[in-house]
Amino acid sequence: DAGVTQSPTHLIKTRGQQVTLRCSPKSGHDTVSWYQQALGQGPQFIFQYYEEEERQRGNFPDRFSGHQFPNYSSELNVNALLLGDSALYLCASSLARFYEQYFGPGTRLTVT
């Protein structure tokens, strides 16, 4: 049973560029949440997708957007990248029960 997978593993982008990160949820899960984890901090909630709609959003600007596909996989898009966007981006999946989340290994984004 495959767990949560994320791609790519690492990414280097230049300030002002756009980036797309991808996530496939654990088999049987229908809800995907995205988190940003800066160095030395806990994960910060970006948003959650369920039934292909953004269900809840944390305190992140509109430069952060997402999408969920009919197969429950999800994308996180970040526009106009800033140096401060450099972080580990974690995807977590769950089945309706929001708090029982399974995390992927993350995508390390470096903005130069």
Partner 1 sequence: DQQVKQNSPSLSVQEGRISILNCDYTNSMFDYFLWYKKYPAEGPTFLISISSIKDKNEDGRFTVFLNKSAKHLSLHIVPSQPGDSAVYFCAAFYGQNFVFGPGTRLSVLP
Q: What are the residues binding partner 1 (CB under 8 A)?
A: 4, 33, 35, 40-45, 48, 55-56, 90-92, 98-106
Nearest approach, Cβ of residue 101 and partner 1 (Å): 7
CA 80 to chain centre: 17
Please report how close the Cβ of residue 56 comes to partner 1 at its closest, in angstroms.
Answer: 4
Angle (nearest 5°) at CA 9 between 6 and 13? 115
Whether residue 91 contacts residue 32, with contact meaning beta carbons closer than 8 Å, is answered with yes
Let me know if 71 is exposed, middle or buried by CB neighbors in 10 A (0-12, 13-18, 19+). exposed
Q: Which CB sits closer to partner 1, 17 or 56?
A: 56
Least distance (Å) between residue 50 CB and partner 1: 10
Q: Give the residue with the Cβ less far from partner 1, 81 or 90.
A: 90
